[in-house]
Chains A and B, each alone.
Chain A
Amino acid sequence: MGNDDPRISAQTLRVLAALMTTLRDELSGAEIGREAKLASGSLYPILARLEDAGWLASRWEVEDPSALGRPRRRYYRFTALGATKVKEAFRPLAPAVWGLAWG
């Protein structure tokens, strides 16, 4: 964890923006994909890189899959490091949006 910073491509920014602008603390991969309008082939490598760099943390849904009647979702959220890094990533790009999203 906490490796070198990941490359911030336009797609990575979309993933970060999806997590930043959600009203919830965390989103599943499918939800991030929908918000960021990214296909699964691009989304998961980005999530893996961000997680490996320590920007994101993930956890399984706590409910029992047999009770849910479907596979558990994996939820992603920013770590403290990620929250700091994402501020740096977005600051030069969108100061107006920045204020709205983070207060």
Chain B
Amino acid sequence: MGLTNIAVAAGIFVVGVLGAAVSRLLADEAKAWTPRAVKTLIRVAVARLPEAQRSRRDEEWQSHVNDTPGDLSKLITAVGFIIASRRIRDFSIPIIGIGKEVRIRLQLTIWLFALIFASILVQMAVRDKDTRETIIIGFAVICLLMMAAKMTVIKNPHADEREAN
């Protein structure tokens, strides 16, 4: 009984020592990888921005991380840049002349038309095998509708103007 207790205690001690060593190694590893991870996150964030803003934000955000103490805080800050880049991108490319809500409704309407048209084409193809030309023309129309939906997003000219300074 006494020997068993000693063995269990020895086992716990060994596991504890090994655990501490491994966690130390992991911490060192994480510390060594943090700068690279931060750079990668900033690169990913910057790549999502309009081209005119990339150079500025890259340097600015690296400077921000540089001024942030602590590896974990640096990582959290860098992850935040991903969120920031998405928001800045969304804000930098509004449709000119109409608001975001109208743009979304317009896109939904166009997509709905495309969907209805596609389902009609599928029905025609199932019923009648000799409608190949109609189907080709129909899909071309759907492609045009999709392009129209895409074109409702027009780059804001102020985005370039702002970054030129």
A interface bracket (residues with beta carbon within 8 Å of B): 20 to 34
Q: Looking at the complex, which one of A31, A41, A70, A74 makes contact with B81 (CB distance below 8 Å)?
A: A41
Q: Contact string, A21-45, partner B, CB cutoff 8 A, digits 1/0? A: 0000000111101000001111111
Closest to A32 in B: B64
- Cβ contact within 8 Å between A30 and B91: no
Q: How far is the CA of A58 from the CA of B66 in the complex (A)?
A: 19
Bound together, the chains give a CA A44 to CA B42 distance in angstroms of 13
Number of interface residues of B (CB under 8 A): 28
Whether B87 is near chain A, meaning CB under 8 Å from some CB there, is yes
Interface positions, chain B 36-94, Cβ under 8 Å from A, are 56-57, 59-64, 66-68, 76-84, 87-88, 91-92
Binding site for B on A (CB under 8 A): 1, 3, 28-31, 33, 39-45, 48-49, 51-52, 57-59, 65, 70-74
- Interface positions of B (Cβ within 8 A of A): 56-57, 59-64, 66-68, 76-84, 87-88, 91-92, 158, 161-162, 165
